[in-house]
Structure 1
Amino acid sequence: MKFSPLETPLRTIMTPGPVEVDPRVLRAMCTPILGQFDPAFTTIMNEVMEMLRQLFRTSNRWAYPVDGTSRAGIEALLCSIIEQGDKVLIPIYGRFGYLLTEICERYGAQVYTIECEWGNVFAPEEVIDEMKRVQPKIVAIVHGETSTGCMQPLEEIGRACREMDILLVVDAVATIGGTEVNADEWHFDGVIGGTQKCISVPSGMALITYNDRIEKVVLSRKKVERGIQTDSDRSILAAGKTIISNYFDLSQLQDYWGPRRLNHHTEATSMVYALREGLRIILEEGLTERFDRHRLHERALIAGIEAMGLSLFGEKKWKLPTVTCVNIPDGVDGESVRHMLLHEFGIEIASSFGPLHGKIWRIGTMGYSCRKENILKVLTSLEAVLVYHGVHVNKGEGVQEALKVYIEQSKAIGAGR
């Protein structure tokens, strides 16, 4: 069988991930391969670690990528600090809280959960009261839930965790690089990000940072070394529980990314190139300026959607700046709308999960996808598709309201000069 050369259609990707990749990142991926211990490459590794510290706003010694999707970073952090029977508290307000729960249970944790209705977040005191009741070793929580478009306030929870000597592990996959994530100021012990969302790098690496409180636990863990196991390790294995992953063992990854450069795995060099360029672009733009850009395009999108006559899902005060959830009008086949957007206009938006499946669309405004031309194209195309589906919309008003946001912003910038 003869296969033709690879050709993929051009898309405007406006999902909560993956998103469009900056062309400069794609060019960086064409850079010639270096050996993973070549001094030229280890210099790049060191630069990536320093850039990640700036991205996470941390002075942590450890900030590096884990090969694999965002989930790989979540698993690496959790499996490296959870021991059999450890208490872990997980507040769940969307799909990815359940993912944290499953991972913790697989590594033998005694998991406690609290839940709130999708579309809401927790009042910090709710979580803190449960921490006092459970007395967990770890609190694991999602910062931005792409399944609901909500963002959990964490500063007060982080302060309480530090006061109570509880480790706080935060899934910041949907927020890092798109809105404020202040690891040190908010007392995060471990944080996980991903490349495929606001970083605008292809999926395939998880970004992690963790402090000396996490490292202390990592280095104290009992490990199976040279085939010799302690009685405690044998009993855990007999119970069918994993002691620790080999691939995701942070103590081994530290030896690889640290000055010892011990061989752990063969590094995905092209992905490191891509990550370095993606991080360079972010820092060149400036974190504050980047967050302001995401807020601007979010504001324009919301203005357009509401002017069109559609409504948003969830409370605005808890809204995740990088994901906008739109209620599907009554009687409309949401998947038919998505299909037409993709095949007639080349635009991809997302559906949702669980109790929200078929009820909302999710539009991502992340990283390189978060651009004026994309916002205007989505609004124009969505209006056309909805009209085709017989939905009453305020024709032409959506794009006009979005344009007003952009024009007002331009005037404000001009007045400030």
Structure 2
Amino acid sequence: MKAYKDLAPSLRTIMTPGPVEVDPRVLRAMSYPILGQFDPEFTDMMNETMEMLRELFQTGNRWCYPIDGTSRSGIEAVLVSVIEPGDKVLVPIYGRFGNLLVEIAERCGAEVVIIEREWGGVFSQGEIAEAIRRERPQIVAMVHGETSTGCIQPLEGIGAICRELDALLVIDAVATIGGVPVETDAWQLDAVIGGTQKCLSVPAGMSPITYNERVEAKILQRKSIERGLQDKNTPASAKRKVRSNYFDLGQLQDYWSPARLNHHTEATSMLYALREGVRLVLEEGLQQRFARHKLHEAALVSGLCAMGLTLYGDATCKLPVVTCIRIPDHVMGESVRSMLLQYFGIEIASSFGPLKGQIWRIGTMGFSCNQKNVLHVLGALEAVLIWHGVDLPAGKAVQAALASYAEKKEEFTC
């Protein structure tokens, strides 16, 4: 019989746009004893998690709970539950994950209308407003932070336009929640989907979501229709059921309500992790956490520019938690990434689609977003680029980052 070795993953400095390093306190929480999903101690924990998620999403919404699955599960749960076949869905695309919204909406039977922006920029409020008024969609689905391009789409004012025309506004905030402001109520966002494996620094496996009474009304309307269509004589063409059982928010909110109607067995250890991860975010303080991400982004960018590297994308809409760098001419991007991993234990990301082989992406997210990691990645990247024959000012990158810290830390208190 083959003998298998003990599991012993290597210790890495993970500077990708996700997953990122996990706070040891979150890993510790995952080791705690399992409770039954209807144990009062566990249901109290569920209620407390919902309370904390309201603070995280900056909302008074009743419904704030996680979907069991990676970030895509949260996106799919919301879209599957609110889109009815034939609904018009407007998707502004400025990177890879806008295309994901399109694919899911099409699978739901939506009439999808897109507007596109060349990768590296975002839309103006006027462009989105014009498209909404022209198309009159039932749903507008948008990405807040595009990790594929390192850009962030401003959302202020878009919710008001959607309310004016009675459209639901669904936002993918997977890359931004816990790292940059996501003001659900102030921006009039109807549904927001987050992820655990990025700025929250929790392992992938849950997707916290929130939605308001406008979304709930559509969910309840569909539930009412479904109950009325239980008659087996009803033709299949008349049935408007939610196309997923697992991702049906109508059933999931019953599970998370005081009724505790059984839907699935909750992912106990992942809920422990989410609760602890969000607790740590709130303990740090949202504004303090946002400032920390800006602090380390500024130091990283200072170092990269001092090295002579060129940033990718429009600087006016740069996503604070992801920095994209153009790969220097005549340099094999994958060779650099491989050497960083092999010799320094550092992982940075490549890209895909039209940017494949053209940029590297460095994440400064959550627990990975710290001074040690920033200085480590700058020193290592400089050394590896010199090894690959790039002529650059040795030593300048780390010095520029140190200067940035010296300047900015006076504004930032731990």
Q: TM-score range by the shorter chain?
A: over 0.9
CA distance in 1, matches of 2:199, 2:234: 43
Q: Residues 226-253 of structure 1: CA distance to partner in whole angstroms, max 9, x if unpaired? A: 993577761167xxx9742100000100
> Structure 2 vs 1, CA of residues 167 and 231 (structure 1 numbering), >3 Å: closer, same or farther?
farther
Aligned counterparts of 2:243 and 2:227: Cα–Cα separation in 1: 12
Say how many residue pairs are matched: 412
1:6 partner amino acid: L
Percent identity, please: 64
How many Å separate the matches in 2 of 1:106 and 1:13? 34
Aligned pairs for 1:255-270 (under 5 A) are 255-270=254-269
Say if 1:34 and 1:226 are closer, same or farther in 2 by CA, change over 3 A.
Answer: farther
**What does residue 127 of structure 1 align with?**
128
- Coordinate RMSD, CA, aligned: 1.7
SS in 2 for 1:90: strand
5 Å-filtered alignment, 1:373-392, equals 373-392=372-391
Deviation at 1:159, TM superposition (A): 1.7
CA distance in 1, matches of 2:120, 2:235: 42
1:161 to partner: Cα distance: 1.0
Q: Say yes or no: does 1:220 pair with 2:237.
A: no
Q: Deviations over 1:67-96 (max 9, x none)?
A: 000000000001001111000000000000
**AA of the residue aligned to 1:342:** L
**Unmatched segments (≥5 aa) in structure 2:** none
Counterpart residue identity of residue 337, structure 2 = R
The runs of 5 or more residues in structure 1 that have no matched partner are none
CA deviations on 1:242-291 (whole Å, 9 max, x unpaired) are: 74210000010001011000110001000000011001100000000000
Judged with a 3 Å threshold, the aligned counterparts in structure 2 of structure 1 residues 300 and 107 are, in CA distance, closer, same or farther, namely: same
Distance 2:238 2:377 in 1: 53
Q: How far did residue 392 of structure 1 move?
A: 1.1
* 1:73 partner amino acid: G
Q: Residue 159 of structure 2 corresponds to which residue in structure 1?
A: 158
What SS does the aligned partner of 2:148 have? Answer: coil
Question: Which aligned pairs between 1:220-369 and structure 2 lie closer than 5 A?
Answer: 220-221=221-222, 224=226, 228=230, 234-235=236-237, 243-369=242-368
Q: 1:347 to 1:413 in 2, by over 3 A?
A: closer
Three-state SS of the structure 1 residue aligned to 2:90 is strand
Whether the 8 Å contact between 1:387 and 1:393 is mirrored in structure 2 is yes
1:29 aligned onto 2:3:
no
CA contact (8 A) 2:13 2:345 kept: yes
Normalised by the length of structure 1, the TM-score is 0.96
SS at match of 1:46: helix
Contact kept? 1:16, 1:350, Cα under 8 Å: yes
| Cα separation, 1, equivalents of 2:237 and 2:301 | 55
- Structure 1: how far apart are the matches of 2:172 and 2:250? 20
For residues 411 and 251 of structure 2, the distance between their equivalents in structure 1, rounded to whole angstroms, comes to 51
Structure 2 residue identity aligned to 1:278: G
Asked whether the equivalents of residues 236 and 242 of structure 1 are also in contact (C-alpha less than 8 Å), the reply is: no
Contact 2:291 2:412 (8 Å CA) reproduced: no
Report if the CA contact (8 A) 1:108-1:242 is conserved.
no
1:293-313 Cα distance to aligned partner (Å, 9 max, x none):
000000000000000000100
| CA distance, structure 2, for counterparts of residue 388 and residue 73 of structure 1 | 43
Q: Deviations over 1:145-180 (max 9, x none)?
A: 000000001112122112221100000000000001
Q: TM-score with structure 2 length normalisation?
A: 0.97
Matched, 1:184 2:185: yes
- Aligned-partner SS, 1:247: coil
The 1-side partners of 2:105 and 2:320 are apart by: 28
> Structure 2 vs 1, CA of residues 231 and 157 (structure 1 numbering), >3 Å: closer, same or farther?
farther
Distance 1:32 1:399, change over 3 A: same
